[in-house]
Structure 1
Amino acid sequence: MAKSTAENTFLRLKTVLDVLTEGVWSGDALNAGQVLAEATARVPFNEHEAELLSGGIPRGHKTLTSATAKLVKAGWLVKGRSGWTITEDGMRATVAYPDPVSFATALDAGTPVPADTPVPAAPAGFVRPVSAAAATLEVPAKEETAKKTTRKTPAKKAAAAVGKAAKVLEDAVEPVVKAVRKTKAPAKDTAADAAAEPFEGPDVETHPQPEAVAVAGDFNTILGAPENWAPQYDEAQMEFDFLDQLWKKSAELPAGFYTFKIALNRSWDENYGAYGAFDGPNHELHHNGGTVTIRYNHATRDITIN
Protein backbone atom coordinates (compact mmCIF):
# COMPACT_ATOMS: atom_id res chain seq x y z
CA MET A 1 0.00 0.00 0.00
CA ALA A 2 1.35 3.40 -0.99
CA LYS A 3 2.42 5.63 1.89
CA SER A 4 0.96 9.10 2.38
CA THR A 5 3.02 12.28 2.12
CA ALA A 6 3.01 12.59 5.93
CA GLU A 7 4.31 9.03 6.38
CA ASN A 8 6.98 9.51 3.72
CA THR A 9 8.07 12.82 5.23
CA PHE A 10 8.60 11.30 8.68
CA LEU A 11 10.46 8.40 7.08
CA ARG A 12 12.72 10.89 5.27
CA LEU A 13 13.29 12.83 8.50
CA LYS A 14 14.46 9.63 10.15
CA THR A 15 16.64 8.99 7.11
CA VAL A 16 18.16 12.46 7.54
CA LEU A 17 19.32 11.42 11.02
CA ASP A 18 20.53 8.05 9.71
CA VAL A 19 22.59 9.74 6.98
CA LEU A 20 24.11 12.23 9.43
CA THR A 21 24.92 9.41 11.89
CA GLU A 22 26.73 7.56 9.11
CA GLY A 23 28.62 10.79 8.42
CA VAL A 24 29.74 10.93 12.06
CA TRP A 25 30.95 7.34 11.88
CA SER A 26 32.89 7.94 8.67
CA GLY A 27 34.14 11.41 9.63
CA ASP A 28 32.41 13.09 6.67
CA ALA A 29 30.93 16.58 7.04
CA LEU A 30 27.72 16.78 5.00
CA ASN A 31 25.97 19.93 3.83
CA ALA A 32 22.21 20.35 3.69
CA GLY A 33 21.98 19.64 -0.02
CA GLN A 34 23.81 16.32 0.29
CA VAL A 35 21.69 15.19 3.24
CA LEU A 36 18.36 16.10 1.61
CA ALA A 37 19.38 14.54 -1.70
CA GLU A 38 20.33 11.29 0.03
CA ALA A 39 17.10 11.22 2.06
CA THR A 40 14.93 11.68 -1.03
CA ALA A 41 16.97 9.11 -2.97
CA ARG A 42 16.50 6.48 -0.25
CA VAL A 43 12.81 7.32 0.16
CA PRO A 44 11.67 8.29 -3.37
CA PHE A 45 8.77 10.63 -4.04
CA ASN A 46 5.38 9.19 -4.84
CA GLU A 47 3.41 10.58 -7.77
CA HIS A 48 1.82 13.35 -5.71
CA GLU A 49 5.12 14.37 -4.10
CA ALA A 50 6.89 14.44 -7.46
CA GLU A 51 4.57 17.15 -8.80
CA LEU A 52 6.49 20.33 -9.53
CA LEU A 53 5.41 23.50 -7.76
CA SER A 54 5.99 27.00 -9.11
CA GLY A 55 9.73 27.40 -9.56
CA GLY A 56 10.17 23.76 -10.57
CA ILE A 57 10.54 22.40 -7.01
CA PRO A 58 9.03 18.95 -6.26
CA ARG A 59 6.24 19.14 -3.69
CA GLY A 60 7.88 16.45 -1.54
CA HIS A 61 11.22 18.28 -1.43
CA LYS A 62 9.60 21.49 -0.21
CA THR A 63 7.64 19.56 2.43
CA LEU A 64 10.79 17.82 3.67
CA THR A 65 12.82 21.04 3.79
CA SER A 66 10.17 22.69 5.97
CA ALA A 67 9.76 19.59 8.16
CA THR A 68 13.44 19.53 9.14
CA ALA A 69 12.56 22.37 11.52
CA LYS A 70 10.97 19.66 13.70
CA LEU A 71 14.38 17.99 14.09
CA VAL A 72 15.92 21.31 15.13
CA LYS A 73 13.12 21.99 17.62
CA ALA A 74 13.57 18.52 19.12
CA GLY A 75 17.27 19.24 19.66
CA TRP A 76 18.29 16.44 17.31
CA LEU A 77 19.76 18.59 14.53
CA VAL A 78 21.82 21.78 14.35
CA LYS A 79 21.89 23.78 11.12
CA GLY A 80 25.04 25.80 10.55
CA ARG A 81 26.62 27.62 7.61
CA SER A 82 29.25 24.90 7.24
CA GLY A 83 26.67 22.12 7.16
CA TRP A 84 24.18 20.15 9.24
CA THR A 85 25.27 18.46 12.46
CA ILE A 86 23.44 15.73 14.33
CA THR A 87 23.45 16.02 18.12
CA GLU A 88 24.05 13.14 20.53
CA ASP A 89 20.32 13.16 21.28
CA GLY A 90 19.67 12.94 17.54
CA MET A 91 21.91 9.88 17.25
CA ARG A 92 20.27 8.32 20.31
CA ALA A 93 16.84 8.99 18.78
CA THR A 94 17.70 6.62 15.92
CA VAL A 95 18.12 3.89 18.55
CA ALA A 96 15.17 4.80 20.79
CA TYR A 97 12.74 5.15 17.86
CA PRO A 98 13.95 2.69 15.22
CA ASP A 99 10.69 2.35 13.28
CA PRO A 100 8.85 5.14 11.41
CA VAL A 101 5.72 5.00 13.62
CA SER A 102 7.49 5.41 16.98
CA PHE A 103 9.80 8.02 15.45
CA ALA A 104 6.89 10.10 14.09
CA THR A 105 4.96 9.82 17.37
CA ALA A 106 7.93 10.95 19.48
CA LEU A 107 8.84 13.79 17.14
CA ASP A 108 5.27 15.11 16.95
CA ALA A 109 4.73 14.86 20.72
CA GLY A 110 8.13 16.29 21.63
CA THR A 111 8.97 13.16 23.62
CA PRO A 112 12.52 13.30 25.03
CA VAL A 113 14.88 10.48 24.20
CA PRO A 114 15.06 8.11 27.21
CA ALA A 115 18.12 8.95 29.30
CA ASP A 116 19.41 5.38 29.28
CA THR A 117 19.47 5.18 25.46
CA PRO A 118 23.08 4.73 24.29
CA VAL A 119 24.74 6.71 21.51
CA PRO A 120 25.03 4.26 18.61
CA ALA A 121 28.57 3.22 17.69
CA ALA A 122 29.74 2.39 14.20
CA PRO A 123 29.46 -1.32 13.41
CA ALA A 124 32.74 -3.20 13.16
CA GLY A 125 34.39 -2.54 9.81
CA PHE A 126 31.84 0.16 8.96
CA VAL A 127 32.21 1.76 5.54
CA ARG A 128 29.84 4.55 4.60
CA PRO A 129 27.36 3.26 2.00
CA VAL A 130 27.68 4.45 -1.57
CA SER A 131 25.42 7.47 -1.90
CA ALA A 132 22.05 6.53 -3.36
CA ALA A 133 21.82 10.05 -4.77
CA ALA A 134 25.29 9.99 -6.33
CA ALA A 135 24.67 6.56 -7.84
CA THR A 136 22.19 8.14 -10.25
CA LEU A 137 24.74 10.61 -11.61
CA GLU A 138 26.93 9.93 -14.61
CA VAL A 139 30.57 10.86 -14.12
CA PRO A 140 32.38 11.91 -17.32
CA ALA A 141 35.43 9.87 -18.20
CA LYS A 142 38.70 11.56 -17.27
CA GLU A 143 41.09 9.17 -18.98
CA GLU A 144 42.35 11.62 -21.57
CA THR A 145 42.78 14.40 -19.02
CA ALA A 146 44.74 12.12 -16.72
CA LYS A 147 47.20 11.28 -19.48
CA LYS A 148 48.05 14.89 -20.22
CA THR A 149 51.03 16.40 -18.42
CA THR A 150 52.30 19.94 -18.70
CA ARG A 151 55.80 21.18 -17.98
CA LYS A 152 55.86 24.19 -15.73
CA THR A 153 57.96 26.94 -17.22
CA PRO A 154 59.48 29.64 -14.99
CA ALA A 155 56.83 32.02 -16.29
CA LYS A 156 54.07 29.63 -15.28
CA LYS A 157 55.56 29.13 -11.81
CA ALA A 158 55.69 32.87 -11.30
CA ALA A 159 52.12 33.26 -12.47
CA ALA A 160 51.02 30.50 -10.10
CA ALA A 161 52.58 32.36 -7.19
CA VAL A 162 50.75 35.50 -8.24
CA GLY A 163 47.50 33.55 -8.35
CA LYS A 164 47.95 32.28 -4.79
CA ALA A 165 48.83 35.70 -3.49
CA ALA A 166 45.80 37.16 -5.20
CA LYS A 167 43.52 35.11 -3.02
CA VAL A 168 44.83 36.95 0.01
CA LEU A 169 45.56 40.38 -1.39
CA GLU A 170 43.18 40.50 -4.32
CA ASP A 171 42.99 44.25 -4.77
CA ALA A 172 46.73 44.78 -4.54
CA VAL A 173 47.75 41.89 -6.76
CA GLU A 174 45.21 42.22 -9.56
CA PRO A 175 47.20 44.93 -11.42
CA VAL A 176 50.30 42.72 -11.16
CA VAL A 177 48.41 39.77 -12.62
CA LYS A 178 47.31 41.88 -15.57
CA ALA A 179 50.84 43.10 -16.11
CA VAL A 180 52.27 39.58 -15.97
CA ARG A 181 49.74 38.34 -18.50
CA LYS A 182 50.87 41.04 -20.94
CA THR A 183 54.54 40.11 -20.60
CA LYS A 184 55.93 38.29 -23.61
CA ALA A 185 57.51 34.91 -23.02
CA PRO A 186 61.23 34.55 -23.91
CA ALA A 187 61.91 33.71 -27.54
CA LYS A 188 61.94 29.98 -28.29
CA ASP A 189 64.48 28.18 -30.45
CA THR A 190 61.76 26.64 -32.54
CA ALA A 191 58.09 27.18 -33.23
CA ALA A 192 57.42 23.70 -31.84
CA ASP A 193 58.97 24.62 -28.49
CA ALA A 194 56.89 27.79 -28.33
CA ALA A 195 53.72 25.83 -28.95
CA ALA A 196 54.67 23.21 -26.37
CA GLU A 197 55.32 25.71 -23.58
CA PRO A 198 52.83 28.59 -23.87
CA PHE A 199 52.67 31.28 -21.21
CA GLU A 200 49.80 30.56 -18.85
CA GLY A 201 47.99 32.63 -16.25
CA PRO A 202 47.74 31.88 -12.53
CA ASP A 203 46.89 28.34 -11.42
CA VAL A 204 43.38 28.66 -10.02
CA GLU A 205 41.27 25.72 -8.87
CA THR A 206 38.06 26.06 -10.84
CA HIS A 207 34.55 24.69 -10.44
CA PRO A 208 31.75 24.61 -13.04
CA GLN A 209 29.78 27.83 -12.72
CA PRO A 210 26.24 28.88 -13.72
CA GLU A 211 25.71 31.47 -16.43
CA ALA A 212 24.32 33.98 -13.93
CA VAL A 213 23.78 34.32 -10.18
CA ALA A 214 21.32 36.77 -8.62
CA VAL A 215 20.68 38.04 -5.12
CA ALA A 216 16.88 37.94 -5.22
CA GLY A 217 15.23 39.47 -2.18
CA ASP A 218 13.09 42.15 -0.64
CA PHE A 219 15.63 44.91 -1.37
CA ASN A 220 15.95 44.54 -5.16
CA THR A 221 13.94 47.72 -5.79
CA ILE A 222 16.48 49.63 -3.69
CA LEU A 223 19.09 48.42 -6.18
CA GLY A 224 17.00 49.82 -9.04
CA ALA A 225 15.11 46.70 -10.15
CA PRO A 226 11.42 47.09 -11.15
CA GLU A 227 10.31 44.67 -8.42
CA ASN A 228 11.55 42.60 -5.49
CA TRP A 229 12.21 38.87 -5.51
CA ALA A 230 12.87 38.93 -9.24
CA PRO A 231 16.14 37.20 -10.26
CA GLN A 232 15.71 38.03 -13.95
CA TYR A 233 16.73 41.69 -13.66
CA ASP A 234 20.26 43.00 -14.25
CA GLU A 235 20.19 44.98 -10.99
CA ALA A 236 20.06 41.74 -8.98
CA GLN A 237 22.96 40.02 -10.74
CA MET A 238 26.26 39.24 -9.01
CA GLU A 239 29.68 39.45 -10.65
CA PHE A 240 32.00 36.47 -10.85
CA ASP A 241 35.58 36.84 -9.62
CA PHE A 242 37.77 34.27 -11.37
CA LEU A 243 40.66 34.62 -8.93
CA ASP A 244 38.80 33.42 -5.84
CA GLN A 245 35.91 31.69 -7.67
CA LEU A 246 33.28 33.75 -5.82
CA TRP A 247 30.19 35.60 -7.03
CA LYS A 248 29.95 39.06 -5.45
CA LYS A 249 27.40 41.83 -5.08
CA SER A 250 28.05 45.12 -3.27
CA ALA A 251 25.31 47.64 -2.60
CA GLU A 252 24.37 50.61 -0.45
CA LEU A 253 21.41 49.68 1.75
CA PRO A 254 19.61 51.64 4.47
CA ALA A 255 19.63 50.18 7.96
CA GLY A 256 17.05 47.45 8.33
CA PHE A 257 16.21 43.76 8.23
CA TYR A 258 16.32 42.09 4.81
CA THR A 259 15.79 38.60 3.41
CA PHE A 260 16.99 37.05 0.18
CA LYS A 261 17.95 33.90 -1.71
CA ILE A 262 20.58 33.03 -4.28
CA ALA A 263 18.94 32.27 -7.65
CA LEU A 264 20.78 30.85 -10.65
CA ASN A 265 20.45 31.68 -14.33
CA ARG A 266 17.86 34.44 -13.88
CA SER A 267 15.07 32.13 -12.68
CA TRP A 268 13.80 30.28 -9.59
CA ASP A 269 14.38 26.84 -11.12
CA GLU A 270 17.54 26.47 -9.05
CA ASN A 271 17.83 28.54 -5.90
CA TYR A 272 19.57 28.21 -2.54
CA GLY A 273 18.52 29.52 0.82
CA ALA A 274 20.00 29.45 4.30
CA TYR A 275 22.65 26.78 4.97
CA GLY A 276 22.98 26.24 1.22
CA ALA A 277 19.75 24.23 1.11
CA PHE A 278 18.11 23.86 -2.29
CA ASP A 279 14.91 25.96 -2.15
CA GLY A 280 15.67 26.42 1.54
CA PRO A 281 14.53 29.16 3.93
CA ASN A 282 15.51 32.76 3.22
CA HIS A 283 18.89 34.19 4.11
CA GLU A 284 18.55 36.96 6.69
CA LEU A 285 20.47 40.22 6.78
CA HIS A 286 20.41 42.54 9.81
CA HIS A 287 22.07 45.64 8.40
CA ASN A 288 23.23 48.78 10.19
CA GLY A 289 23.23 50.82 7.00
CA GLY A 290 25.91 51.55 4.40
CA THR A 291 27.76 49.32 1.96
CA VAL A 292 27.20 45.59 2.21
CA THR A 293 28.93 42.89 0.15
CA ILE A 294 27.39 39.46 -0.38
CA ARG A 295 29.65 36.65 -1.61
CA TYR A 296 28.41 33.30 -2.94
CA ASN A 297 30.56 30.18 -3.38
CA HIS A 298 28.92 27.90 -5.94
CA ALA A 299 31.22 25.00 -5.06
CA THR A 300 29.94 24.89 -1.46
CA ARG A 301 26.68 26.91 -1.74
CA ASP A 302 27.96 29.03 1.19
CA ILE A 303 27.54 32.80 1.43
CA THR A 304 29.36 35.44 3.44
CA ILE A 305 28.10 38.93 4.21
CA ASN A 306 30.13 41.92 5.33
Structure 2
Amino acid sequence: MAEITRRRTGEFLRELFNILMASPEGLQASAALQALAGRVTLTPYEADSYESGGRRFEKIVRFATVDCVKAGWLVKDKGIWTITDEGREAYRVLPDPEAFYRRACKLYAEWRAAQPDAEVRATGAVEMDVDEPDTSAKLVSVTFEEAEEQAWAEISAYLRAMNPYDFQDLVADLLRAMSYHVTWVSPPGKDGGLDILAWPDALGTRPPRVKVQVKRQQQAVSVDGLRSFMALLGDDDVGLFVCTGGFTRDAESEARTQEKRRVTLIGLEKLFDLWDGHYEKLTDQARRRLPLRSIRFLAPNG
Protein backbone atom coordinates (compact mmCIF):
# COMPACT_ATOMS: atom_id res chain seq x y z
CA MET A 1 0.00 0.00 0.00
CA ALA A 2 1.29 3.44 -0.86
CA GLU A 3 2.46 5.55 2.05
CA ILE A 4 0.82 8.70 0.66
CA THR A 5 -2.89 8.62 -0.16
CA ARG A 6 -4.94 11.04 -2.22
CA ARG A 7 -6.57 12.29 0.96
CA ARG A 8 -3.22 13.05 2.56
CA THR A 9 -2.01 14.81 -0.57
CA GLY A 10 -5.27 16.75 -0.68
CA GLU A 11 -4.71 17.85 2.90
CA PHE A 12 -1.27 19.16 1.93
CA LEU A 13 -2.68 20.97 -1.09
CA ARG A 14 -5.58 22.62 0.70
CA GLU A 15 -3.30 23.90 3.43
CA LEU A 16 -0.88 25.13 0.76
CA PHE A 17 -3.73 26.96 -0.96
CA ASN A 18 -4.72 28.47 2.39
CA ILE A 19 -1.19 29.84 2.75
CA LEU A 20 -1.00 31.16 -0.79
CA MET A 21 -4.42 32.80 -0.71
CA ALA A 22 -3.16 34.97 2.13
CA SER A 23 -0.55 36.33 -0.31
CA PRO A 24 -2.54 37.49 -3.37
CA GLU A 25 0.61 38.60 -5.20
CA GLY A 26 2.19 35.19 -4.76
CA LEU A 27 4.83 33.61 -2.57
CA GLN A 28 8.23 32.10 -3.20
CA ALA A 29 7.87 28.34 -3.54
CA SER A 30 10.52 27.71 -0.89
CA ALA A 31 8.75 30.04 1.56
CA ALA A 32 5.37 28.44 0.84
CA LEU A 33 6.74 24.93 1.39
CA GLN A 34 8.46 26.01 4.60
CA ALA A 35 5.23 27.54 5.89
CA LEU A 36 3.32 24.39 4.95
CA ALA A 37 5.81 22.16 6.78
CA GLY A 38 5.22 24.27 9.90
CA ARG A 39 1.45 23.71 9.75
CA VAL A 40 1.34 19.95 9.29
CA THR A 41 2.72 17.10 11.32
CA LEU A 42 4.89 14.98 9.06
CA THR A 43 5.12 11.23 9.39
CA PRO A 44 8.60 9.68 9.47
CA TYR A 45 8.03 8.60 5.86
CA GLU A 46 7.12 12.13 4.76
CA ALA A 47 10.00 13.69 6.66
CA ASP A 48 12.53 11.25 5.20
CA SER A 49 14.78 12.24 2.29
CA TYR A 50 15.32 10.62 -1.09
CA GLU A 51 18.73 9.16 -1.85
CA SER A 52 19.04 11.68 -4.68
CA GLY A 53 18.46 14.52 -2.21
CA GLY A 54 15.46 16.50 -1.05
CA ARG A 55 12.89 15.74 1.61
CA ARG A 56 10.05 13.47 0.46
CA PHE A 57 7.42 15.93 1.75
CA GLU A 58 8.54 18.72 -0.59
CA LYS A 59 8.68 16.34 -3.55
CA ILE A 60 5.17 15.06 -2.86
CA VAL A 61 3.75 18.58 -2.71
CA ARG A 62 5.62 19.77 -5.80
CA PHE A 63 4.52 16.68 -7.68
CA ALA A 64 0.87 17.29 -6.77
CA THR A 65 0.99 20.97 -7.69
CA VAL A 66 1.65 19.99 -11.31
CA ASP A 67 -1.98 18.84 -11.40
CA CYS A 68 -3.06 22.17 -9.93
CA VAL A 69 -1.15 24.15 -12.54
CA LYS A 70 -2.70 22.22 -15.43
CA ALA A 71 -6.10 22.55 -13.74
CA GLY A 72 -5.69 26.32 -13.94
CA TRP A 73 -5.71 26.72 -10.16
CA LEU A 74 -2.08 27.67 -9.65
CA VAL A 75 0.44 29.77 -11.57
CA LYS A 76 4.20 29.33 -11.20
CA ASP A 77 6.54 31.99 -12.51
CA LYS A 78 10.24 32.29 -11.61
CA GLY A 79 9.65 30.44 -8.35
CA ILE A 80 6.59 32.49 -7.34
CA TRP A 81 3.41 30.47 -6.72
CA THR A 82 0.11 32.31 -7.08
CA ILE A 83 -3.47 31.04 -6.68
CA THR A 84 -5.82 31.92 -9.53
CA ASP A 85 -9.49 32.86 -9.21
CA GLU A 86 -10.33 29.35 -10.42
CA GLY A 87 -8.14 27.95 -7.66
CA ARG A 88 -9.90 30.02 -5.02
CA GLU A 89 -13.26 28.82 -6.28
CA ALA A 90 -12.10 25.18 -6.25
CA TYR A 91 -10.88 25.63 -2.68
CA ARG A 92 -14.31 26.99 -1.72
CA VAL A 93 -16.53 24.40 -3.41
CA LEU A 94 -14.35 21.34 -2.70
CA PRO A 95 -13.72 21.36 1.06
CA ASP A 96 -13.03 17.62 1.22
CA PRO A 97 -9.26 17.14 0.69
CA GLU A 98 -9.62 13.94 -1.31
CA ALA A 99 -12.30 15.40 -3.59
CA PHE A 100 -10.17 18.51 -4.01
CA TYR A 101 -7.14 16.58 -5.21
CA ARG A 102 -9.20 14.15 -7.30
CA ARG A 103 -10.67 17.09 -9.19
CA ALA A 104 -7.18 18.50 -9.85
CA CYS A 105 -6.06 15.08 -11.11
CA LYS A 106 -9.10 14.83 -13.38
CA LEU A 107 -8.41 18.24 -14.90
CA TYR A 108 -4.76 17.30 -15.36
CA ALA A 109 -5.82 14.10 -17.15
CA GLU A 110 -8.10 16.12 -19.44
CA TRP A 111 -5.22 18.44 -20.26
CA ARG A 112 -2.91 15.50 -20.81
CA ALA A 113 -5.39 13.80 -23.12
CA ALA A 114 -5.51 16.90 -25.29
CA GLN A 115 -1.73 16.86 -25.86
CA PRO A 116 -0.27 15.36 -29.05
CA ASP A 117 0.54 11.66 -28.69
CA ALA A 118 -0.69 11.73 -25.10
CA GLU A 119 -0.99 8.53 -23.17
CA VAL A 120 -3.04 9.07 -20.04
CA ARG A 121 -3.14 6.46 -17.36
CA ALA A 122 -5.13 6.62 -14.18
CA THR A 123 -2.92 7.14 -11.17
CA GLY A 124 -3.87 6.10 -7.70
CA ALA A 125 -1.92 7.54 -4.83
CA VAL A 126 1.00 9.88 -5.16
CA GLU A 127 3.74 7.31 -4.84
CA MET A 128 6.19 8.24 -7.57
CA ASP A 129 6.72 5.47 -10.10
CA VAL A 130 9.24 6.60 -12.68
CA ASP A 131 8.15 3.81 -15.02
CA GLU A 132 4.68 5.38 -15.30
CA PRO A 133 4.68 7.69 -18.38
CA ASP A 134 2.35 10.22 -16.76
CA THR A 135 4.45 10.24 -13.61
CA SER A 136 7.61 10.76 -15.65
CA ALA A 137 6.08 13.83 -17.29
CA LYS A 138 5.30 15.30 -13.88
CA LEU A 139 8.81 14.59 -12.66
CA VAL A 140 10.16 16.52 -15.66
CA SER A 141 7.97 19.47 -14.66
CA VAL A 142 9.19 19.34 -11.06
CA THR A 143 12.85 19.13 -12.09
CA PHE A 144 12.43 21.99 -14.54
CA GLU A 145 10.69 24.30 -12.07
CA GLU A 146 13.28 23.64 -9.35
CA ALA A 147 16.06 24.54 -11.78
CA GLU A 148 14.19 27.68 -12.83
CA GLU A 149 13.66 28.69 -9.20
CA GLN A 150 17.33 28.28 -8.37
CA ALA A 151 18.43 30.22 -11.44
CA TRP A 152 16.06 33.08 -10.74
CA ALA A 153 17.05 33.22 -7.06
CA GLU A 154 20.69 33.65 -8.05
CA ILE A 155 19.95 36.23 -10.76
CA SER A 156 17.64 38.34 -8.60
CA ALA A 157 20.09 38.29 -5.68
CA TYR A 158 22.89 39.37 -8.05
CA LEU A 159 20.87 42.31 -9.37
CA ARG A 160 19.73 43.41 -5.93
CA ALA A 161 23.33 43.41 -4.69
CA MET A 162 24.69 45.31 -7.68
CA ASN A 163 26.29 48.71 -7.15
CA PRO A 164 23.55 51.33 -7.80
CA TYR A 165 25.57 53.08 -10.51
CA ASP A 166 26.46 49.79 -12.19
CA PHE A 167 22.77 48.95 -12.14
CA GLN A 168 22.01 52.32 -13.71
CA ASP A 169 24.55 51.59 -16.45
CA LEU A 170 22.94 48.18 -16.99
CA VAL A 171 19.60 49.89 -17.69
CA ALA A 172 21.30 52.29 -20.11
CA ASP A 173 22.94 49.35 -21.90
CA LEU A 174 19.57 47.67 -22.24
CA LEU A 175 18.04 50.78 -23.81
CA ARG A 176 20.86 50.88 -26.34
CA ALA A 177 20.26 47.22 -27.19
CA MET A 178 16.59 48.13 -27.72
CA SER A 179 17.74 50.69 -30.34
CA TYR A 180 17.30 53.79 -28.19
CA HIS A 181 19.98 56.46 -28.28
CA VAL A 182 21.15 57.22 -24.76
CA THR A 183 22.36 60.81 -24.58
CA TRP A 184 22.93 61.17 -20.85
CA VAL A 185 23.51 58.97 -17.82
CA SER A 186 23.61 60.61 -14.42
CA PRO A 187 27.06 60.73 -12.78
CA PRO A 188 27.43 59.88 -9.08
CA GLY A 189 25.77 62.45 -6.84
CA LYS A 190 22.39 64.13 -6.73
CA ASP A 191 20.44 63.66 -9.96
CA GLY A 192 17.17 65.46 -9.24
CA GLY A 193 15.18 62.29 -9.83
CA LEU A 194 16.41 61.72 -13.38
CA ASP A 195 19.02 59.05 -14.17
CA ILE A 196 18.96 58.48 -17.94
CA LEU A 197 17.87 60.41 -21.02
CA ALA A 198 17.28 58.63 -24.32
CA TRP A 199 15.74 59.30 -27.72
CA PRO A 200 14.38 57.15 -30.55
CA ASP A 201 16.79 58.84 -33.02
CA ALA A 202 20.50 59.63 -32.93
CA LEU A 203 20.04 63.41 -33.19
CA GLY A 204 17.40 63.67 -30.51
CA THR A 205 14.98 65.46 -32.82
CA ARG A 206 12.15 62.91 -32.94
CA PRO A 207 9.81 62.54 -29.97
CA PRO A 208 9.19 61.08 -27.55
CA ARG A 209 12.10 61.82 -25.27
CA VAL A 210 12.57 58.98 -22.77
CA LYS A 211 13.23 59.95 -19.16
CA VAL A 212 14.33 57.17 -16.85
CA GLN A 213 14.55 56.88 -13.10
CA VAL A 214 16.44 53.88 -11.72
CA LYS A 215 16.26 52.64 -8.13
CA ARG A 216 18.12 49.64 -6.80
CA GLN A 217 16.32 49.18 -3.50
CA GLN A 218 14.46 46.52 -1.55
CA GLN A 219 11.24 48.42 -0.82
CA ALA A 220 8.52 48.98 -3.40
CA VAL A 221 8.04 52.46 -4.86
CA SER A 222 4.95 54.14 -3.43
CA VAL A 223 2.42 56.21 -5.35
CA ASP A 224 4.03 59.38 -3.93
CA GLY A 225 7.39 58.29 -5.29
CA LEU A 226 5.84 57.67 -8.68
CA ARG A 227 4.12 61.07 -8.68
CA SER A 228 7.40 62.80 -7.90
CA PHE A 229 8.90 61.19 -10.99
CA MET A 230 5.90 61.99 -13.18
CA ALA A 231 6.26 65.65 -12.22
CA LEU A 232 9.48 65.63 -14.26
CA LEU A 233 7.72 64.50 -17.45
CA GLY A 234 6.73 66.96 -20.14
CA ASP A 235 3.90 66.55 -22.64
CA ASP A 236 6.19 64.90 -25.21
CA ASP A 237 8.07 62.72 -22.72
CA VAL A 238 7.75 59.04 -21.91
CA GLY A 239 8.78 57.93 -18.45
CA LEU A 240 10.43 54.65 -17.48
CA PHE A 241 10.65 53.88 -13.78
CA VAL A 242 12.91 50.92 -13.01
CA CYS A 243 13.01 49.55 -9.46
CA THR A 244 14.33 46.25 -8.12
CA GLY A 245 11.84 46.40 -5.25
CA GLY A 246 8.85 46.72 -7.53
CA PHE A 247 5.89 49.02 -7.03
CA THR A 248 2.94 49.19 -4.66
CA ARG A 249 -0.55 48.45 -5.95
CA ASP A 250 -1.44 52.13 -5.67
CA ALA A 251 1.57 53.06 -7.78
CA GLU A 252 0.70 50.48 -10.43
CA SER A 253 -2.89 51.74 -10.53
CA GLU A 254 -1.68 55.33 -10.85
CA ALA A 255 0.52 54.40 -13.82
CA ARG A 256 -2.30 52.49 -15.55
CA THR A 257 -4.85 55.28 -15.23
CA GLN A 258 -2.67 58.16 -16.36
CA GLU A 259 -4.15 60.22 -19.18
CA LYS A 260 -1.59 63.01 -19.54
CA ARG A 261 1.65 61.40 -18.41
CA ARG A 262 2.93 58.27 -20.14
CA VAL A 263 4.92 56.13 -17.75
CA THR A 264 5.98 52.47 -17.75
CA LEU A 265 6.92 50.64 -14.57
CA ILE A 266 9.66 48.03 -14.80
CA GLY A 267 10.24 45.69 -11.88
CA LEU A 268 13.00 43.15 -11.50
CA GLU A 269 11.31 40.34 -13.43
CA LYS A 270 10.33 42.54 -16.37
CA LEU A 271 13.82 44.02 -16.46
CA PHE A 272 15.38 40.57 -16.63
CA ASP A 273 12.97 39.43 -19.34
CA LEU A 274 13.92 42.46 -21.43
CA TRP A 275 17.64 41.83 -20.81
CA ASP A 276 17.27 38.18 -21.78
CA GLY A 277 15.19 39.02 -24.83
CA HIS A 278 17.74 41.53 -26.15
CA TYR A 279 20.85 39.70 -24.97
CA GLU A 280 22.17 39.05 -28.48
CA LYS A 281 22.08 42.78 -29.23
CA LEU A 282 24.06 43.79 -26.15
CA THR A 283 27.72 44.69 -26.49
CA ASP A 284 30.29 42.40 -24.91
CA GLN A 285 30.97 45.04 -22.26
CA ALA A 286 27.27 45.27 -21.46
CA ARG A 287 26.89 41.49 -21.17
CA ARG A 288 29.58 41.42 -18.51
CA ARG A 289 27.27 43.42 -16.23
CA LEU A 290 24.84 40.48 -16.14
CA PRO A 291 26.34 37.50 -17.99
CA LEU A 292 23.94 34.71 -18.90
CA ARG A 293 24.56 31.22 -20.17
CA SER A 294 21.88 28.84 -21.44
CA ILE A 295 21.69 25.33 -19.98
CA ARG A 296 19.58 22.72 -21.73
CA PHE A 297 16.85 21.02 -19.70
CA LEU A 298 14.19 18.61 -20.80
CA ALA A 299 11.22 20.97 -20.97
CA PRO A 300 7.77 20.00 -19.67
CA ASN A 301 5.16 19.30 -22.33
CA GLY A 302 2.91 22.36 -22.44
TM-score between both structures, scaled by the size of structure 2: 0.37
